[in-house]
Amino acid sequence: MATDEPLVVQDATRGLTGAEVARRVAEGRTNDVPARASRSTWDIVRSNVLTRINAIFAVLAGVIVFTGHLLDGLFALLIVVNSIVGIVQELRAKITLDRLTIVGQARPRVLRDGQVEELAPNQVVADDVIEMGAGDQVVVDGEVVSAEALEVDESLLTGESDAVHMQPGDQVLSGSFVVAGTGHYRATKVGREAYATRLADEASRFSLVNSELRNGINRILRFITWLLVPAGLLSIYNQLSGDEPLREALRGMVAALVPMVPEGLVLLTSVAFAVGVVRLGRRNCLVNELPAIEGLARVDVVCSDKTGTLTENAMHLAEVRGPDGDLASDSSVTEALAALAAADPRPNASLRAIREAFPHDPGWPPETVAAFSSARKWSGATYADQGTWVLGAPDVLAPPGTAAATEAESIGARGLRVLLLGHCEGPLDGSDLPGEVEPMALVVLEQKLRPDARDTLEYFGRQHVSVKVISGDNARSVGAVASALGLVGSSQPVDARTLPEDPDQLGDVMEQHRVFGRVTPAQKRSMVRALRARGHTVATTGDGVNDVLALKDSDIGVAMGSGSPAARSVAQIVLLDNRFATLPHVVGEGRRVIGNIERVATLFLTKTVYSALLALMVGVPGLVGDHTLPYPFVPRHVTIVGWFTIGLPAFLLALAPNYERARPGFVRRVMRMAVPWGVVIAVACFVSYLLAYEGVLSGRADRTEASTAALITLVVIALRVLAIVARPLVLWKVVLIWVMSVLSALMFLLPITQSVFLLDPGNARYVVIALVCAGAGVVLVELVWWVDGWLTGEPRRLFGRSG
């Protein structure tokens, strides 16, 4: 497609006209790229309807239609129910995510017709001129048209940690971010042509690639597949090779295969995640990647920023003191502060506080400006008549032991932020100081502690989650803030300039200390890596451009909604209301998902194990001899049992509160319970069925009486397994179990249900046999649970809150 001539540098003051924008939109030269969070409604419908499990059930339902016993096809309702529930919950999650994504979206400042407009990224067109300042993310590829002390970090794209000094004519890539200075760039590649878009073209917020929970469920499904193949083939052979009529044999085959399929496991996992997204959305928490809900529940170390996380982002200038501690009275000091604040078009929180205190620009024209950088920790400007003035960290600008350094250390120990204003004779040249700095004043800034910070730190302490406070401020000042919030171990803050570079040695220091000051962005990333190398699951909170590298390298990155666009773009979780206290709710949602899906998986896997083993027990005699047993149940039996002992209870359990701390070994714990429980149920049902069907203890029962006996045994033990899985019990769980028990009992007692579900509990001897087998099974499943707790050391509680 032909393109218009690009804008030249002098056009950068006005940008595109409305007509030029309209022409580029008509030509399709826009930045309209689908949001990575969004799936279309059709994708959601298709993924919930066209599933492997639905396909299996549809084929089996077709077999039942062929037999003419339509009531045996009740299990086919699961296709409808599963699909509707999954679609509704995922659509709710989609609506929530899309709404919050718009709220938390970075909005570039674009020049059009000489006016600055804040636009959504997808409204940018080719040749737009876009402003950039510290903390901004480059949204499209472009060419720099103006730059003042502009430094861009491309580490997220190239891996190079050093910021790149940009000049007019240099190329900037989408996905990089500004660490210092200001400038403009002209969009040259937009949409799918942009560098970062090409890298992330297949990224999706719905992918659960790194989810331990989803990986565990996939392992369980692989195990089930290996179990299904021999059991299913044997059931088909056994039922079709006997002397039963074809239609009855097909009913038995379907009855054997249906309960082997864990029809609700994957559905409830997706629903649990989707409900978590909706619940957190109500707390203004944007979940960029679904595994983050699960991941934060596994976190055992939180690396927290100070400014913007533990303290309010806004500051207030308390006072200006001389280098010796006396109140400053020199007018040149206040003029210099006002000039420095006026020289920065995108001031940080400290400069904004200074600008509010000294709003009158003295009119000093700057010759050279060095914007603030978290790496060097100072900013400055050179003026024609006033020389060079710098403002930054006292322990960086003032030599140790001087009066200014000592006084700044004393003030910082009270939890105040201190900046040193200094004067130099030579002009600024690049990012290096022009010479020795003469201290002129100490600028004291007050920060307000977040009212919810103490409660949040106490919560993490109770949950045995270690909190590390990592800040670029003076170590003693950071320690004072942490002490004011009651953080254990804050009395020994560490100056990051003394930290070792060796990762192993750095890991030792990180294990021993809790508070760190004067940390550079590269050091913060190294700290996170050192903790992860020690086996910790690390979450990092931050709001500034200096936090981006650490957020990216953490297991879970948490950004504040008011933070820089770059920080928000790399974080998995964004707290749009800037409340640190939202994190415990995210942890709670993760624990609910992990703990409850473990319960649900145990129920479904137990059903699969006992169904497969029962099919093997019934089928083996016909395979090795000439005595073929019909399958004990018809499809309607296993359908109703599944509803009362697994389906309905599992749905409620999956969405219930759960406060247990997430632990590794999800699959191992599920298998440890489900396999022995499945064996117990299968053996008990088979014995009950065999005793009745063969008439070992009394006259031979007919098929319906024997099936009823086996079904009574199955229901009683399955309800006991449900009661164990639901522990520790609270009132609503007790009510749930009783309701399911009463409904199950009514199924056997009411004439209408006896007729509909083909049950005959009229023979007292067979009912006694069934109950005796069930009693033995109940004892054994209880014994398995208690012995497992004794062997593993896991606490066993019958009643009380989970966790």
- Give the sign of the dihedral formed by CA 788, CA 789, CA 791, CA 793: positive
> Scanning the structure block, which residue is given the tokens 């790194």?
210
Q: Rounded to an integer, what is the distance from CA 293 to the centroid of its chain?
A: 3
3-state secondary structure 601-637: HHHHHHHHHHHHHHHHHHHHHHHHCCCCCCCCCCHHH
| Conformation bin of residue 150: beta by default, left when phi > 0, alpha when psi is -120 to 50 | beta
Please state the three-class secondary structure of 543-608 as a single string.
CCHHHHHHHHHCCEEEEECCCCHHHHHHCCEEECCCCHHHHHHHHHHHHHHHHHHHHHHHHHHHHH
* CA neighbours closer than 13 Å in the CB half-sphere of residue 106: 26
Contacts with 686 (C-beta within 8 Å, 6 or more apart), sequence order: 614, 617, 618, 632, 710
Strand locations in 251-344 (E):
285-287, 301-304, 311-321
CB burial of 374-393 (b: ≥16 within 10 Å; e: otherwise) equals: bbbbbbbbbbeebbbbbbbb
Catalytic residue, from 127, 153, 300, 305: name it: 305
Packing angle, helices 703-725 and 764-792, rounded to 10: 30
Neighbours of 585 (CB within 10 A): 15
Instruction: Specify whether the CB–CB gap between 558 and 579 falls below 8 A.
Output: no
Are 135 and 186 in contact, with CB atoms under 8 Å apart?
no
Render 440-465 in DSSP notation, one character per residue: EEEEEEEEEEPTTHHHHHHHHHHTT-
Residues in contact with 138: Cβ distance below 8 Å, sequence separation at least 6, in sequence order: 132, 152, 172, 173, 174, 175, 176, 177, 178, 185
CA 445 to CA 320: how far, in whole Å? Answer: 9
Taking CA 341 as the corner, what is the angle to CA 575 and CA 335, rounded to the nearest 5 degrees?
150
Integer Cα distance of 761 and 104 in angstroms: 62
Residue 390, H or E segment: strand 387-392
Query: Per the structure block, which two tokens stand in for 493?
Result: 């803050």
Question: Strand 164-165 relative to strand 129-133: parallel, antiparallel, unpaired?
Answer: unpaired
Residue 529 to residue 519: CA distance in whole angstroms: 14
Identify whether 305 is a catalytic site residue.
Answer: yes
Kindly tell me the sign of the dihedral angle through the C-alpha atoms of 453, 458, 463, 465: positive
Q: How far apart are CA 569 and CA 566, in angstroms?
A: 5
In whole angstroms, what is the distance from residue 669 CA to residue 662 CA? 12
Angle at the Cα of 552 (from 547 to 558), degrees rounded to 5? 65
Tokens of 613: 């083993």
Residue 79, token pair as written in the block? 């296709």
On the question of a cis peptide bond just before residue 245, with omega within 30 degrees of 0, the verdict is no
| Cβ–Cβ < 8 Å for 469, 309 | no
Residue 759 CA to residue 20 CA, distance in Å, equals 78
Q: Are 530 and 511 in contact (CB under 8 A)?
A: no
Among all residues, which ones are annotated catalytic?
A: 305
